[in-house]
Structures are given as structure tokens and as C-alpha cells.
Structure 1
Amino acid sequence: MLVLLNGPPGVGKSTMAGLYVDDHPPALNLDIDVLRGQIGGWQADPARAGLLARALAVAAARTHLLAGHDVVVPQFLGRPEFVLELSALAAEVGTEFVEVVLLDIKENVRRRFFERNDPVKHTDAATLSTMYDRLLELLAARPDARIVHAAGIPETYAALRHALAPL
């Protein structure tokens, strides 16, 4: 299965992806932000590095899926292009594509994001708010996306496991 774990920054996507792959070896946690950080000089042109990282992620996902293993992509996506690319990849390799969106109210997301104290993140409150709103707009156009409401880590992970269970 190819799982897109979408959600606003700070909602817990990386944590949930890590828990899932730990419980489903040899599933792959394909964190595009980590891949982007592996590209030399990415800070000089983050948009270009992000596109390169996405291309690398698709290639890695294809390889892992064809080997018969799950792939989880924890990534904020506020536009449909990469969602559609991942969906097409799943169809191409003959596996299930599951789109999950982790959500919490905007204020909780904002608080958690700024509590992380991640020095690499240079997002201000206005940008974070805009990202959140774009995600909600995308979600309105994605009726098959499964929504998981973020709470504590154990509760959110249980809800994610439920969302990934066969329908």
C-alpha cells in the first residue's frame, strides 16, 4: 500500500509515519523533507530541491512497492499535483493508494509547530495559517481522503491504524 500522510506542519505526520513503519517492517518512511535536506545546497533554491526530492521519492517508492512493501509519505501538500502523481504511481504498480489527512484545529497546529523549536523551519504564523487553509481547500476536492483527528500520540496512531484498515 502507498500511504500519503498529509497534514499541516506540526500535526504529527512524521511521528505517525515512524510508528507505522516500526509496526510494519520493512515498510518505508519516505520523508521528502529529509530527502531534500540531503541535496547539496538545497537552501539556495528550496523549490528546485523540493522538486528533485519528490522525483527521488517517486523512484524510491516505485522500487519499494514493486518489492511488495508498504510506503508512507509524510508530507504537507496544499496542491493536488503530487497527490495525483502518487495516486498514479500506485495504479502503475498495482497497489492501493490511501490518502490520509491528519487534522487538528488551527490554533493547536500553530502551538505544536512553534513548540517544536526546529531551527531549520523558518515559517511564520501567517504562512502557517495560509498553509492550513490551502490544505482545507485541497481536502474539499479530495472526497476519498481519510481524515484522522490529531490528539495524543497513542490516540492518533490508533485512529490512523483504523483509517488504514481495509474498508
Structure 2
Amino acid sequence: MPRLLLFNGPPACGKSTLAQHYVDDHPLALNLDVDRVRSLIGRWRDDPHAAGLLARQVALAAARAHLASGHDVVVPQFLARMTFIEQLERLAREVNASFHEFVLLDSKENALRRFAERARAAVDPAHVEAREMVERGGGFDDLSVMYDRLMTVIAARPAARIVRIEEGEVDLAYRAVLRGLG
């Protein structure tokens, strides 16, 4: 049975790193980074909200096709609202895939610090875009609010597995994910 894995968590907590680690270990698994899909939409910065919604619809279609072919899909995405999580979970049921929701989590202070450090040194286009989005959206105060919204989502999703993140311990977090898959 194919798996649909969601790696949720604040920016700079290792979602993309763990997603890549998973697909490197699982042949034909798809690392479906919605932010990268969004970056493929022409002039997405003119209306990032609309582009984000379009990117999620494209991601759902891609996940459907990939899961239906019998292969795993990993979605590394910060989600502080329930809609896309519920859409992913429903998709998994529709295509007879298992759904695994992980939240990569550290303290708010550590998450904000790591994001600031990554933003200052950003070279990767995805990290540059993340910095720009935060700057446009209200800066680090907005990140703090986002973190708090994530805590509300976690409280409403009791089946989500919390993976505590320790800086520099990617393998430890990855092993926790694998244990969570059973």
C-alpha cells in the first residue's frame, strides 16, 4: 500500500531535509514540495495567495497520480490551517493509500532563531523565497503567530505524530519518522 506522508512544522525545522532523506531511501517515492510547485507558476509573487492555492491543487493532482501508481509521496509543508491537511488525508483514503502526518517541532525560540540564521545565509532559491515571503507578511512577529497557529492545529490533530527536532540530529529525526510508520 502506498504511503502519503505529510511533514508539517515551522520554517527551518528540517521538513525538506527529511523529505529528501525519505525519497533517497525509497525508490520512486516523490518529494512533492508545494513551494517548488508554486515557484513554477508564472509571476506567482504578484499574488502569492492565489498562486499558493493553485500550487496545492497541482500538488494534489500529482500526489493522486503518483499514489495511484503505487508509489509513496512525501509533502514537506508548513500548514497552520486544516484545509490542505484534510485534503491530503481525504486523497489518501480515495486512492487506498495510508496517510501519515508528522509534525517536526522544536521550541518557538529555537524555530525563530533557526529561521533567522537560515534567512541571513540564504542561497538556496527556496530559502530566499521563504525569507521574502516572511518579510512581506510581517516579519518575525508573523512567524511567531504562525508558530502559535501550528500549535492550534496540532491540538486538533491527535493522530499527528510529533517528532522533536534537535539541531544537527537529522538521522535521529529520520529514525523517529520511520518508527512512526510502523
TM-score by length of 2: 0.88
Q: Which runs of 5+ in 1 are unaligned?
A: none
State the Cα distance separating 1:25 from its structure 2 match. Answer: 1.3
Separation in structure 2 between the aligned mates of residue 11 and residue 59 of structure 1, nearest angstrom: 26
Q: What secondary structure is seen at the aligned counterpart in 1 of 2:102?
A: strand
- Runs of 4+ that moved beyond 4 A: none
Separation in structure 2 between the aligned mates of residue 96 and residue 141 of structure 1, nearest angstrom: 20
Separation in structure 2 between the aligned mates of residue 71 and residue 111 of structure 1, nearest angstrom: 30
State the Cα distance separating 1:33 from its structure 2 match. Answer: 0.3
Name 1:137's counterpart in structure 2: 152
Contact between 1:5 and 1:17, CA under 8 Å: does it hold in 2?
yes
Q: How many residues align?
A: 165
Comparing both structures, which one devotes a greater share of its residues to helix? Answer: 2
2:115 to 113, 117, 124: 113
Give runs of aligned pairs for residues 10-159 of structure 1, distance below 5 A.
10-117=12-119, 118=122, 119-120=128-129, 121-122=131-132, 123=134, 124-151=139-166, 152-159=169-176
Separation in structure 2 between the aligned mates of residue 155 and residue 144 of structure 1, nearest angstrom: 21
Separation in structure 2 between the aligned mates of residue 45 and residue 65 of structure 1, nearest angstrom: 30
Separation in structure 1 between the aligned mates of residue 173 and residue 38 of structure 2, nearest angstrom: 27
State the Cα distance separating 1:156 from its structure 2 match. Answer: 1.3
Deviations 1:6-39 (A, max 9, x none): 0011111000000000001110000000000110
TM-score by length of 1: 0.96
Separation in structure 1 between the aligned mates of residue 147 and residue 13 of structure 2, nearest angstrom: 11
- The alignment yields a C-alpha RMSD, in angstroms, of 0.9
State the Cα distance separating 1:145 from its structure 2 match. Answer: 0.4
Contact between 1:29 and 1:71, CA under 8 Å: does it hold in 2?
yes
Q: What secondary structure is seen at the aligned counterpart in 2 of 1:116?
A: helix
**Matched-pair identity in %:** 55
Separation in structure 2 between the aligned mates of residue 25 and residue 127 of structure 1, nearest angstrom: 38
